Structure 1
């Protein structure tokens, strides 16, 4: 499912226009990105938690040449699914 399909389903389920659903979804995603960028966790009970992580600098290898390359440290985005989400995926009740 892509964003357009998700917007359409939200609009139908919430009985709102597609334009309103698109604005709400975009604003939600934007706020999650802002919070995680600042280092805050975003916890949606029953769905999951968005948080940032850290990846240490390390030495890697160029697969084509075998030469060592330095891979710099980086921040990562992480998502942990909540229990209700996991249960729904596994069809538990």
Structure 2
């Protein structure tokens, strides 16, 4: 589903204008990032939970040369699907 299709679907599901739906979709990434910075996790009810997690430093291998590469510690986004999303996907035909 493309952004325009998502906006159309939200418009018909909520009765809001396309402009209002587009504004919410455009603001969502900044709002989620701000929530991660202040709280460490953001839950979108019925959809997913996003957490900021620390990935420890580690030694990796360059597959082409086999040389060891030191990867520094970093913060990464961890996404976990909510139960309603998992259940809905599980009902889809394989």
TM range (shorter): 0.7 to 0.9
Partner SS for 1:46: coil
Partner SS for 2:43: strand
**Counterparts of 1:65 and 1:43 in 2: how far apart (Å)?**
42
Structure 2 residues without counterparts, runs of 5 or longer: none
1:83 equivalent in alignment to 2:73: no
Structure 1 residues without counterparts, runs of 5 or longer: none
Aligned alpha-carbon RMSD (Å): 1.9
Structure 2 length-normalised TM: 0.81
Q: Which residue of 1 aligns with 2:10?
A: 10
1:56 equivalent in alignment to 2:53: no
Residues 25, 55 of structure 1: alpha-carbon distance in 2 compared, 3 angstrom cutoff? same
* Count of aligned positions: 92
Give the deviation of 1:61 after TM superposition.
1.3
**Counterparts of 1:38 and 1:61 in 2: how far apart (Å)?**
35
TM superposition outliers: structure 1 runs of 4+ over 4 Å? none
